[in-house]
C-alpha cells in the first residue's frame, strides 16, 4: 500500500475538492511544512506532493522509500532534480492548468493600470470627485489598449495565450528574442528593440541563471515608451530595486506584479516604497489561482499518481 504525503495543502484554496488516487493508499496531509520537517513527515512515504516546499538532496538521502514526487505547480525549482535522478526518484509537474487564469490576470492588471482604475477608485473614496464640482475629473491618465504594442517575453503556452487575448483587443503583439541574440528567429524581435518599442511588457519565461535579473537598470533605461511592466512569472526575473527606481523616475508607466523574489513579501521589502502609488499593483501570487485552475491542477496531480502506480508515469521531468 502506498503512503502518500501532501506537504502544503494550504497552498490550494479551500474550495478545491481533494480527490484521492484510485490505487490503494494511506493518505497524510499537512497545511504547511517547514524545511526542518520535510524528512520526518516523509518517512516511509512512497509519494510526496509539494507545491513550494523544497525537497533537497539532504532530505532525499534520508528517504529510501520515496519513489515519486509530484510538484503541484509547473515550476519545479523547489526540487533537486539531479539528486532525484541519481536516486531513481521520478519527478512530475502539472502543466497547462493556468492557460486561462494567468492570461486573464495579466490583462486585468493591464486594464487596471492602463485606465488608472486604482487611482480613480481612491480619489472617489477620498472625496475628490465631490469636491471637483464636475461630472468627471482627470487626475490620472487613461490609455486605450487598442493600437498599442504588447510585448511578451516567453513564447510558451502562457505567453501565447496572453498574446491571443491582447490581439483580440486590437493590440500589436511582439515576442522578445533572447537577450544578446542579434539574429533572432522569425517571429521574434531583438531584445533591445523589443524594450524600446513595447507599450506593455509581460513576463512569461522560467527563472534560470540566464533570466535572473533579466530586467534591471540598463533595461529600464531602454524603455523609451514608458511601458506598463507586468510580471506574473517569477520574482527574480526583475531586479526589484531597479523596478522601484524606474517607477520613481518615470521610466515605466506602471508596475503590475503578482510575484516577488521572497514570498510572502516581507516587511521592509523595497516595494513598500512604491506599493501605495496609483500606478503600482502588487497581488499575492494569485494569478494562477482561479477556482477552475486550482481544481484542474489537483486533478492532474492525482492522475500522475494513478499513472505512476499503473507503470506509466506522466509529465516526467527527470
The residues assigned a catalytic role are: 234, 263, 285
Which of 165, 170, 232, 225 has its CA nearest to residue 200?
225
Residue 135 sits at φ, ψ, to 5 deg, of: -70, -20
Residue 50 per-residue DSSP state: E
Instruction: Measure CA of the first residue to CA of the last residue in the chain; give whole Å.
Output: 25
Which of 39, 58, 57 has its CA nearest to residue 48?
39
In the sheet with 90-93, reading across from the earlier edge strand, the strands are 25-29, 2-6, 47-50, 68-71, 90-93
Q: Rounded to whole angstroms, what are the CA distances from 220 to 73, 129, 202, 317?
A: 30, 34, 14, 34
Q: For residue 238, give the 3-state DSSP assignment.
A: strand
Residues 189 and 149: their CA atoms lie apart, in Å, by: 12
Is the Cα torsion angle 130, 135, 140, 144 positive or negative in sign? positive
Instruction: Decide if 306 contacts 314 (C-beta within 8 A).
Output: no
Beta strands (DSSP E) in the chain are: 2-6, 25-29, 47-50, 68-71, 90-93, 149-153, 172-175, 200-203, 228-231, 254-257, 280-282
Amino acid at each position: 500500500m502506498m503512503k502518500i504525503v501532501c506537504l502544503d495543502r494550504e497552498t490550494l484554496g479551500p474550495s478545491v475538492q481533494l480527490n484521492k488516487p484510485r490505487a490503494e493508499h494511506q493518505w497524510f496531509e499537512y497545511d504547511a511544512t517547514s524545511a526542518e520537517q520535510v524528512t520526518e513527515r516523509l518517512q516511509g512515504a512512497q509519494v510526496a506532493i509539494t507545491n513550494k516546499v523544497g525537497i533537497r538532496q539532504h532530505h532525499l538521502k534520508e528517504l529510501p522509500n520515496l519513489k515519486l514526487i509530484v510538484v503541484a505547480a509547473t515550476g519545479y525549482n523547489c526540487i533537486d532534480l539531479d539528486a532525484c535522478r541519481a536516486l531513481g526518484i521520478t519527478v512530475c509537474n502539472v502543466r497547462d492548468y493556468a492557460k486561462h487564469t494567468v492570461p486573464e490576470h495579466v490583462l486585468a492588471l493591464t486594464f487596471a493600470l492602463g485606465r488608472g482604475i486604482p487611482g480613480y477608485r481612491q480619489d472617489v473614496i477620498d472625496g475628490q470627485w465631490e469636491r471637483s464640482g464636475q461630472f468627471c475629473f482627470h487626475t490620472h491618465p487613461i490609455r486605450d489598449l487598442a493600437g498599442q504594442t504588447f510585448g511578451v517575453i516567453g513564447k510558451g503556452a502562457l505567453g501565447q495565450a496572453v498574446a491571443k487575448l491582447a490581439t483580440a483587443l486590437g493590440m500589436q503583439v511582439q515576442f522578445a528574442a533572447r537577450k544578446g541574440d542579434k539574429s533572432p528567429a522569425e517571429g521574434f524581435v531583438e531584445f533591445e528593440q523589443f524594450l524600446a518599442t513595447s507599450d506593455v511588457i509581460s513576463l512569461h519565461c522560467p527563472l534560470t541563471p540566464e533570466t535572473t535579473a533579466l530586467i534591471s537598470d540598463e533595461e529600464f533605461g531602454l524603455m523609451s515608451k514608458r511601458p506598463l511592466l507586468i510580471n506574473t512569472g517569477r520574482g527574480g526575473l526583475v531586479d526589484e530595486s531597479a523596478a522601484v527606481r524606474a517607477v520613481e523616475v518615470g521610466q515605466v508607466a506602471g508596475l503590475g506584479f503578482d510575484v516577488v523574489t521572497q514570498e510572502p513579501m516581507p516587511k521592509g521589502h523595497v516595494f513598500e516604497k512604491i506599493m501605495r502609488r496609483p500606478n503600482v499593483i502588487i497581488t499575492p501570487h494569485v494569478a494562477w489561482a482561479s477556482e477552475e485552475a486550482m481544481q484542474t491542477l489537483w486533478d492532474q496531480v492525482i492522475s500522475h499518481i494513478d499513472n505512476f502506480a499503473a507503470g506509466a508515469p506522466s509529465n516526467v521531468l527527470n
